[in-house]
Amino acid sequence: MPNHHLINPPIGRPEVRDVPWAQRRSYRLVQGASPSDTDGTESYFDVSSYTGVNSLPEAIMEFIAHRGSADRVPENSFAGIHFTACYQIKQIECDVSVASDGTAVIFHDKCLQRMTGDPRSVSSLAGHELTQIPLVSHWPGPTQYIPLAKDWIREAARYGLFVHLEIKVHDQQVERAVEAALEALDESGLLPSQVRVSSFSLDAIQLIRCRRPGLGLGLAADKLSGVATETLETLGLTSIHLDIRFLDPLAVELAADRGLKVCVYTVHSARQLASLPVNLIDSVFTDDPVALLDEMKTLKIFK
């Protein structure tokens, strides 16, 4: 059985963590460790003394670690939480899918193949079976496994991250997906003020609005033109999430004029934003928030 060292994390925020994944060093979350505890292949990092991101000017928009900084760590993993928090990135995004027993897990795809090499579907296995499956990694470090949603969300909350929870509706099972996600939220202890729930499924958003009217909601879409005006007016959305590949200045302005926070996905370079009114963009989803922040610093895109 794999060592799920993060399934039951110690109470309280750890004061010591490892050198970030970005430095391609071996990864481990510990409490009360020191460099002398290592065998030379692992290094530890005291986040309380790290000022790398805090020393930068304030960016003009928020950076959201898409799938938990997927360019730096295995996507949708516990490692993503720790990498994101380590660099003082305040917001993180994850995807919620549903196992065969109705348990919510943190996983993006319908099929396990891309991230695990397993040809089966997420919905063909129970939650406890999925947590035994290792995630594909291109970086050295302890193996990461598919997390249960309640545990992943609880860990993100422990580090004070704002969570963007995207519900994936596979096989059109909207109610099943929503119920699993809401149950995981309840069990995680995450406060409503710490989360925004989103989905590409309009039906899922409508159902959540009925079940949990107090939750902040975001609707994801390829283009603003693909969303009916009535939908924007009646759902009580907090944000609209739009694809950078199809985004134009007019769409940003129209969404902002409706009082919506404009969140853009998935941004790999600041140059993708060059033609857009960046002052109207609330936040960007990016697989590498650290690199994007550094690039924006170089280009002096700050308040």
How confident is the model over 99-158, as pLDDT tens digits?
A: 999 999 999 999 999 999 999 999 999 999 999 999 999 888 889 999 999 999 999 999
What is the mean pLDDT of the segment spanning 267-284?
96
What is the mean pLDDT of the segment spanning 251-276?
97
The predicted pLDDT at position 59 comes to: 64
The predicted pLDDT at position 174 comes to: 98
Share of the chain above pLDDT 70, in %: 79
- State how far the Cα of 14 lies from the Cα of 244, in Å rounded to an integer: 36
What is the mean pLDDT of the segment spanning 12-21?
35
Please answer whether residues 178 and 104 qualify as being in contact, where contact means their C-beta atoms are separated by less than 8 angstroms. Answer: no
Kindly list the distances between the CA atom of residue 91 and the CA atoms of 30, 34, 60, 112, 147, in Å, as whole numbers in the listed order. 23, 28, 15, 26, 19
Residue 216 has pLDDT above 90, yes or no: yes
Residue 57 has pLDDT above 80, yes or no: no
Burial class from Cβ neighbours inside 10 Å (0-12, 13-18, 19+) for residue 274 reads: exposed
- State how far the Cα of 123 lies from the Cα of 168, in Å rounded to an integer: 12
The predicted pLDDT at position 25 comes to: 29
What is the CATH architecture assignment of 58-298? Alpha-Beta Barrel (3.20)
**Residue 7 backbone dihedrals phi, psi, to 5 degrees:** -65, -40
Residue 248 has pLDDT above 70, yes or no: yes
Residues 6 or more apart from 219 whose CB is under 8 A from it?
198, 199, 200, 202, 205, 227, 231, 235, 237, 239, 240, 241
Residue 212 has pLDDT above 80, yes or no: yes
Residue 27 has pLDDT above 90, yes or no: no
Instruction: Write out pLDDT tens, residues 147-199.
Output: 999 999 999 999 999 999 999 999 889 999 999 999 999 999 999 999 999 99
Which helix (H) or strand (E) is 284 found in, with range? strand 281-286
The predicted pLDDT at position 33 comes to: 30
- State how far the Cα of 290 lies from the Cα of 87, in Å rounded to an integer: 7
The predicted pLDDT at position 171 comes to: 85
Residue 302 has pLDDT above 60, yes or no: no
Torsion of CA 134, 138, 141, 143, to 10 degrees: 0
What is the pLDDT confidence band of residue 301, given thresholds at 50, 70 and 90?
Answer: low
Instruction: Tell me the pTM.
Output: 0.82
| Long-range contacts of 296-299, Cβ-Cβ distance < 8 Å, separation of 24 or more | 296/59, 296/60, 296/270, 297/56, 297/57, 299/270
